[in-house]
Amino acid sequence: MVEAFAVASGKGGTGKTTSTLSLGMALAEEYDVTVVDADTGMANLLFHTGLTDVETTLHDLLIGDREASVEEAVYERFGMRVVPCGTSLAAFERADPDRLQDVVATLAADTDVLLLDSPAALGSKSAILPIVLADRIVVVLQPTIPSLSDGLKVQEYARSYGTGTAGVLFNKVHDDEDVRPIADKSERYFDGPTLAAVPDEDAARAARRAGGPLLAHAPESDAARAYHDAASTLDVRTGESERVAERFRSAVIPDTP
């Protein structure tokens, strides 16, 4: 039984990768979770999970003349299954984004929750694929009107392909910021609820420097507790794995966004 979430934002710098891993670790206390770095052009999940030296990554599964199996690119980390992506520009240029459909379908057969760490913008086919393939999106925003606007563009695009919105996660919230006015607006315009407001803490930056997820590095921090709240608020809807996998394989992917 599986549901696929694309963690998206519409712009860079909102903390999507930190949020993807933190939600994954929190959800893994109840579900079997698989996290995929679907940002094939600007991958950085491998730096957050200690996987910089692994032999096989998502890039190897997307390049037609390589014979890697999906399982070779899956690594057990922090109570989850993690599929990192490489950082080679040459590999990115050779990768066929269409092959992501089969990769996601294969992974869906053996997990409860699939989290796709998505690219920041919608400027290419590889960037929009995670949103088109997902059941729903989790929109990561900073508590500003421009960030809200960027997130709404992602939701609008997701809707056009039948992808719903699971909720909005406010990240990097400073002590002097009142998130309530922006959250009130978001709940009027977004289909899903506000999952949590994650404070901007040194713990998150320290975790990145240490090369580990926030929930492993500082599990008692306010930010970690906020991600646990977000995971508790997220209503995971399960679908039959074979049907979900077939939907991934048969999805109509646009050539351009």
Residues 76-127: tens digit of each pLDDT: 999 999 999 998 888 888 988 888 888 988 998 889 999 999 987 666 666 7
The pLDDT value recorded for residue 148 is: 87
Paired strand residues for 197: 170
CA torsion angle for 51, 39, 63, 136 (degrees, to 10)?
110
| Cβ-contact 18, 181 below 8 angstroms | no
* 54 vs 245 pLDDT, higher one: 54
CA–CA distance from 196 to each of 49, 141, 217, 235, 249 (Å)?
Answer: 23, 11, 20, 13, 33
- Taking the C-alpha atoms of residue 154 and residue 99, their distance in angstroms, rounded to an integer, is 23
Measured CA to CA, the distance from residue 193 to residue 54 in angstroms comes to 37
Segment 159-166 shows an average pLDDT of: 91
**Residue 237, pLDDT above cutoff 60:** yes
Q: What is the pLDDT of residues 65-88, one digit of tens each?
A: 778 899 999 999 999 999 999 988
Q: Could you give the dihedral angle defined by the CA atoms of residues 236, 238, 239 and 244, in that order, rounded to the nearest 10 degrees?
A: 50
Q: In which band, very low, low, confident or very high, does the pLDDT at 253 lie, cut at 50, 70 and 90?
A: low
Cβ–Cβ contacts within 10 Å for residue 65, how many?
A: 5
